[in-house]
Amino acid sequence: MAEALLIVDLQNDFLPPAGALAVPRGDQVIAPIDELVASGRFELVVATRDWHPPDHASFASQGGEWPDHCVRGTPGAQLSACLDVSAVDAVIDKGVERTAAGYSAFEVEALRALLREAHVDAVTITGLATDVCVLHTALDALREGLRVTISTRAVRGIDAHRTAAALAELSDAGARVV
């Protein structure tokens, strides 16, 4: 069987210093992710991105809990130019409907289909943010029956306490947290 690398939401709006919803030290994941990509270990490399409509329900401007971020087609929604995207096989957009949370990359059937077609049975998950989209994507990957590894060098969270709790939850659920 095959292993895939999932790069979750390494987008400009999640990166300091100027991102609309910048994850503290989020830029520190880029080099470890590039190392994983360059390792040649993965048969499939998939990047995800929030790709929200301008009136997304999660936005503070719409009464939601998050600052407006990753509005599709804007510079903030683009994958970081610091990421080596030459080895990325596919980009999966999530949160594309006004009420779709976009927390898990598995909310989109396209990811499941892509992993099935490549006979993937294991995923290493990296990216932003550990306590939101990485957490939900990893939990859904476990529910899909995949073996899940979380590379702690290559993830960062919004809140330190929630990040620690998320990593513990993932470990308890069966993910390998390294």
Half-sphere exposure of 124 (CA within 13 A, CB side): 21
Distance set, CA 71 to CA 57, 74, 78, 96, 118 (Å): 12, 6, 9, 9, 30
Active site residues: 9, 94, 133
Q: Are strands 90-94 and 44-50 parallel, antiparallel or unpaired?
A: parallel
Contact 148, 123 (CB under 8 A): yes
